[in-house]
C-alpha cells in the first residue's frame, strides 16, 4: 500500500557514527520528534516502515552508500520529505552538485552549530508544509474541475461517459496497491479517458455501448478518440502526464513482465486493463472468467493484472431500491438505464447520482415525463 502523504513534523537523522546520532538526540529531543538510523541502509528501512518524515538529515561520507546516493533513494520513497545534508569542507563541491540536481534542500558544513542546524530543520519543516499545501491544492482543484467536466459530458452522452466512474474505481484499486504511485493523477486520467469521444457521432457511440460491430470507417473514427483526448488535455498545464496516459490507453503491452517506472506508461497500462475488464463486466462475464480471458491474451502488464484480480465492485452493504426522483440522494448508483417517456436515454446504468443528475431528471419529469420509479443501489444509513 502507499505511504501516507503527510509526513507530519518528524525528523530522521542518518549517520554511520552512533555517537553523533546520540549528540543529535541530546540536542533536539525536546525540540523535534525524531528518529535516528545508523547508516543509509537502516535509514531507507525506517523511511519504508516508519515514514514518511518531514525532514531527513544525512551525513555525506558513509560506507557503502554516500549521503548523495542515500538522499536520492530517500526522495523516491518519500518525495515530500525535505532533505538536508551535512558535509565536511572538502566535500562542498559535491554537495553543491547534489543541491543543483534537486535532491537536497540545504547542505551544512560540519561541525555544525546546534542553533544553525535547528534553524535549517525549521526551514525544512516549513518547506515541507508548503510543498504539501501546493500538492493538495493542485490535486483538489484538478479533481474537482475534472469531476465537473466529466459530469457535464456524461449528461450529454450517458452511454459513454457513465463508464468513467467505473473505470476510475478500477484504476483507484490498482493504483492503491502500487507502492509509491500518485493515485490521484491516475484517477484523473481514468475520468478523462473518454473525453475524446465528444467528437464521435452519437450513432457510433450507441453501437459501441451495445457491443454492435462497426464498419471500417466507423471503427477508424472511434479509434481516434484517445488522440483527440490527448490533444485536448495536453493544452492544460499540469495535465501533460495524464494526457499521455489517455493517448496510450489502448496500447498493447508487448512484455507482460515489464518493470515500469514511467508514470505515463503505467497509467496507460492501468487504463487498458480497466477498460477491457469493464467491458467484460458490463457484458455479464464473471470476474474470475474475465481475468482468465485477459491472462490468455498476454497483452497486459502482469503486475497490473494481478492487482486487478483482487478488485470487487464496492457493493458491500448496498441494497436495491425502486425510488422516485424526489427520493434520490447523491452517492446512489443507478442499477438500470433511466429513460424519458419519449424513449430518450437520459442516464446509463452504473452512473452515480449527483445534484446535477437530479436537476436533469427533475427537468425531464416536469416537462416531458420519465419512467419512474428507478432502481438504484442504496447504502443503508
Cell numbers 533513494 correspond to what residue?
73
pLDDT for res 102: 54
Contact 100, 75 (CB under 8 A): no
Cα–Cα dist 265/249, whole Å: 9
pLDDT for res 279: 86
pLDDT for res 4: 45
- The CB density around residue 341, as the number of other CB atoms within 10 Å, is 12
Fold of 11-131: Rossmann fold (3.40.50)
Say which residues have a Cβ less than 8 Å from residue 320's Cβ, sequence separation at least 6. Answer: 335, 375, 376, 377, 378
pLDDT for res 311: 87
Fold of 157-313: Hypothetical protein af1432 (1.10.3210)
pLDDT for res 93: 67
pLDDT for res 120: 92
CA distances from 225 to 164, 217, 279, 315 (A): 14, 14, 17, 31
Per-residue pLDDT of the chain (381 residues; tens, 9 = 90+): 344 445 568 899 999 999 999 999 998 988 899 999 999 999 999 998 887 899 999 998 888 888 888 988 888 888 888 999 888 765 666 666 666 655 688 888 888 888 899 999 999 998 888 888 877 777 777 777 777 777 777 777 777 777 788 898 899 999 988 876 667 889 889 989 998 988 888 888 878 877 788 999 999 999 999 999 999 888 887 788 899 999 999 999 999 999 877 889 999 999 999 999 988 887 788 889 999 999 999 999 999 999 999 887 655 556 889 999 999 998 888 888 899 998 888 887 878 888 888 988 999 999 999 999 999 988 766
DSSP 54-69: SEEEEES--SSS-HHH
What phi, psi does 14 have (nearest 5°)?
Answer: -130, 125
- Which of 161, 139, 146, 141 has its CA nearest to residue 352? 161
Give residue limits of the domains in the chain: 11-131, 157-313, 315-381
pLDDT for res 3: 44
Amino acid at each position: 500500500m502507499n505511504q501516507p502523504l503527510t509526513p507530519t513534523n518528524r525528523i530522521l537523522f542518518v549517520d554511520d557514527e552512533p555517537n553523533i546520532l546520540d549528540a543529535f538526540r541530546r540536542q533536539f529531543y525536546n525540540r523535534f520528534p525524531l528518529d535516528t538510523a545508523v547508516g543509509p541502509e537502516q535509514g531507507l528501512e525506517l523511511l519504508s516502515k516508519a515514514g514518511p518524515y518531514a525532514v531527513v538529515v544525512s551525513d555525506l561520507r558513509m560506507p557503502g552508500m554516500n549521503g548523495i546516493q542515500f538522499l536520492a533513494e530517500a526522495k523516491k520513497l518519500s518525495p515530500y520529505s525535505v532533505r538536508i545534508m551535512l558535509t565536511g569542507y572538502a566535500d562542498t563541491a559535491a554537495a553543491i552538485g547534489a543541491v543543483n540536481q534537486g535532491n537536497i534542500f540545504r547542505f551544512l558544513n560540519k561541525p555544525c552549530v546546534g542553533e544553525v542546524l535547528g534553524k535549517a530543520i525549521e526551514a525544512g519543516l516549513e518547506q515541507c508544509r508548503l510543498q504539501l499545501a501546493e500538492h493538495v491544492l493542485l490535486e483538489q482543484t484538478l479533481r474537482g474541475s475534472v469531476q465537473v467536466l466529466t459530469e457535464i459530458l456524461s449528461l450529454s452522452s450517458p452511454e459513454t461517459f457513465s463508464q468513467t466512474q467505473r473505470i476510475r474505481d478500477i484504476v483507484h484499486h490498482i493504483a492503491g496497491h502500487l507502492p509509491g504511485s500518485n493515485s490521484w493523477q491516475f484517477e484523473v486520467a481514468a475520468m478523462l479517458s473518454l473525453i475524446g469521444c465528444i467528437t464521435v457521432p452519437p450513432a457510433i457511440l450507441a453501437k459501441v455501448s451495445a457491443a454492435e460491430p462497426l464498419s471500417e470507417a466507423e471503427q477508424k473514427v472511434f479509434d481516434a478518440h484517445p488522440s483527440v483526448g490527448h490533444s485536448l488535455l495536453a493544452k492544460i498545464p499540469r495535465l501533460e502526464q495524464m494526457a499521455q496516459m489517455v493517448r496510450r490507453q489502448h496500447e498493447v503491452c508487448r512484455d507482460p513482465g515489464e518493470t515500469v517506472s514511467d508514470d505515463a506508461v503505467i497509467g496507460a497500462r492501468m487504463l487498458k486493463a480497466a477498460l477491457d475488464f469493464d467491458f467484460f463486466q458490463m457484458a455479464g462475464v464473471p470476474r474470475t472468467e474475465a481475468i482468465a480471458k485477459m491472462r490468455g491474451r498476454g497483452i497486459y502488464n502482469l503486475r497490473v493484472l494481478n492487482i486487478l484480480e483482487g478488485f470487487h465492485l464496492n457493493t458491500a452493504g448496498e441494497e436495491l431500491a425502486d425510488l422516485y426522483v424526489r427520493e434520490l440522494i447523491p452517492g446512489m448508483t443507478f442499477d438500470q438505464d433511466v429513460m424519458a417517456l419519449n424513449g430518450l436515454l437520459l442516464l446509463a446504468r452504473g452512473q452515480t447520482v449527483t445534484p446535477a443528475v437530479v436537476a436533469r431528471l427533475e427537468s425531464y419529469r416536469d416537462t416531458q415525463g420519465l419512467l419512474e420509479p428507478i432502481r438504484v443501489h442504496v447504502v443503508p444509513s
